[in-house]
Structure 1
Amino acid sequence: MPDFPPDLADIARRLIGREVSTGTFIPLDDAALLAVVEELTLLRHEVERCQAIAVAEVARRSRVPFGVRGLAQRTGHAGTGQLVQSITRSSKREAVALVRVGQMMAETDAAAALEAQRWSDPMVSETTPAPTTPWFAALGAAVAEGVVTVEVAGAIRSGLGEPGGDADEAALVAALPMLVDECRSLHADAARRAARQTRDRIDAAGVVARAERQRHHQYWRVWVKPDGMVRGEFELEPQAGMLVKAVFDQLTHPRRLDAKTRRGFGDHALGDARYADARATRERDAAEGLVQLLRAGASVDPSRLLDERKPSVRVVVNAHALATGEGTGMIEGHPDRIPVADIHPGLCEGHLPVKFGDGTVLDLGRDERLFTERQKIALTVRDGGCMDPDCTRPPSWTEAHHIDHWHRDGGRTDLADGILLCRGDHLRYHNEGWEVRREGARYWLIPPPGVDPERTPRSMRSKTPSDILNPVDPTRLPMPGAPPVPRLVAAAGEREPARPAV
């Protein structure tokens, strides 16, 4: 019997025996504290990886063919998920995700082991058919090698879904290596969004089916609570929902608060309470605004054309998809795609063509300090929201920032030298010394020395999917069944594009 499980048990006993309390970490300085958190995180991820592999074996021994002799049944549980949940004391969702990732790794390993055996033993090769490599093999291997964590792998698998529509197994196999590489430094929520965007990019038929399904499942419910308050809930398809969100954002925007209230947020003693009070005030104002909007809408003359100055939803689509009807578009501030067919009716409301490249019409150089409305629309299309790597603020909450400061650096009011930042990040960048550098079409965030003494550049990614801005020539896409094409930087031994020097 291997001695690995006893080693794990010994590690667990050593950790349990440690007397750890909040006071353990108080004496540490910032750098030491963060180092401890990172080391504990590495340990947790390694434990989860081993746990997923072990759980996969539990699932194998609990398979339906074993019946009452299966491991789960013999221990008094209905299935593997219930058994794992009872051991880990986790939620049902977490237990199912752990089992799923473990089985994904096990199936990948089993197919690879059988293929290796067929190559090494001619007798096995003659008597055993070639194994079917699962389409998620690249993801299973990435977890086994520690490239991505168990949680990120589960998020990727969930975001991609199962083969179907235009996203058959061959298409998913071709897309996985690049997706895994993109997600190696992302947290689980960002990885799930990236996987959903990948699925939408290759499965236009699925986008159409989802849009129809969403329209079918819309609802709005209202009821009276026992205390007399009227409560409601709704679910709307993306375009209708984002219109409602645009109205809500206008009614709750931080700029609607007076300057004195906003300054109070920085008070060390009362800042949290003032922020909570301000939030309650904004939400109360939004409720009153909703009622006023409903009154105005209910009383409007149906024969009258409404004012053009109204909350709107901006839809982004590239010219190629619009001309051919093939592909998808996106709603500004929303993570999912929409069919091209749903975009055409909106063109009657008005549209603004935006061309990236020479930028001559939209570049103002040193003639103007402030970005124009058309420039901001172009930045909205390009950036898709706040460009800070950890921020998810929508475009409506952002401001245009000169990456080369107007006074200090002689910055230019050109598209290439501007990015979108939410108000909070914009102030933080200026006040704390964060810098943004551009190399070609890529932007890098440079932390101040107090945050990172090495000032290691951090990649800033647009929230707008890349294929919306730059349609891919179909002839350049990998053929079904063809091996994935490695990235150019991989040949140089790099995991990501070279970072700019500071």
Structure 2
Amino acid sequence: MDATTLTAFADLMSDDLTIPVGTDIDTPANLGQFLARARAVDDDRELLAVAAAVLRLRNVADYSVAATCAAIERVGLPARKHVRSGAAILSELGAAPAVAYRAARLGQAIVDENLVSVIRGLRDGAVSAEQSDAVASGVGHVTGRVELPDDDRRKIVNSLMVQTSPARVREKARAWAIKLAPVEPVDGVVPVAERDDLNEMTLNRTDDGRVAVTIDFDIVAAEELSAALDPLTRPVPEPDGSADRRSAKRRRADAMAQVIRTYLSHSERPESGGVLPHVTLSVPAAVVMNGQVLDSVVGQTISIPIAAAGDDTAEDDTAVPWLGFGGPISPRTAELIMCEASVALALLDEHGVPLNVGREKRLFTPGIRKALVLRDRGCAFPGCGLPPSWCDGHHVDHWEHGGVTSLDNGVLLCRRHHTVIHHGGWEVFIGRDRQPWFVPPADPDHPKRRREPIRSNARRTLTSLPGAA
């Protein structure tokens, strides 16, 4: 079957499996119309048969995609198309990245003699691509830790094939690896727990734009990670003195984020506070923040005709700020990032053309930061007090809204409480005493109750009077 025949076959399948627009579904001319008019009880057996057949067809198609990807790699097509791999070609043809990379892995499994039964099941349509990929990865997990003879390898493959889901396959593979690992390592062989060549880390973007991270570390790297996280995972009392409401998982995640920020910010920087750009923030000119547009040079508005995001006159009514790796973010989060000048800001016009790129913005000079450290002595949020080296410099009146860079417009905040100020309803202001004061969010049960200002952490008292930290 050549490409022309295959295209004609795909057209035929499309015509039979879907309903043409404007067709009367009461006349069951094809499978699509049958599915549209299927009735409870009467068509139950037929629906089950159709579901099984369609799933088998999908599995066979996935095998064909994997085989095609393997052929693309074998003939060197990616190099001639100036892309990195066969998976990249599939992605450019419309496949989701996860699907493309899975097809590439299965394409490699097709030529592996030890995975013949897995690939045969996929080719016959009895096993899904997800299950086949999990089995192949599971076998790799075991063989990476234990030397296996062919008979044991086939036994493991067969045991993984009968699991009910990819998650169960992965669990079974880990169980095999633990069972077969020698109790006492052979002389000259590094124990599995100490092998850094088995270290793995995955970052998977979720549907809502978050990133799920999994880490498999050797014992030494894990010890170093634990040592880095330990002092940052301690509970921090809430402003009212109550226990930290964060779960252990939340505290650990906050600590990991702080370690990353510190590494990026403190690379070859003096303790007084010079920072290097570590976040690239792209801001379309159509994004208006509180009536003003960010200027990457002097923090003032720019005098060009623009349209607010969502305006009918805008070129793109979904124009939002973007991070280099993370993708779209809200203007409020962009404000949070802009507070600590460790960003390389790129201001884009409505067509995505850079207006100004790569200008480093060092908002708080070393001298001002030293003054902030002397005054705030760490995170100023009531009840926190994390050391200054873990803190951002926050502009009380935002820089992009015309706020100046000065001691009387700055406050030190750890990233957790910096986020609370931007997203949690808390407010901060510099009082007549030239000290930061914090205002808690409104009480939803008593919206008219006065929001009593609270002193900064460095000025905590032992009094129970209102407003004491």
Common fold, TM-score beyond 0.5? no
Interval containing the TM-score (normalised by the shorter chain):
0.3 to 0.5
Structure number with the bigger relative contact order (C-alpha 8 A, sep ≥ 6) is: 1
Q: Mark the structure with the bigger radius of gyration.
A: 2
Higher helix share: 1
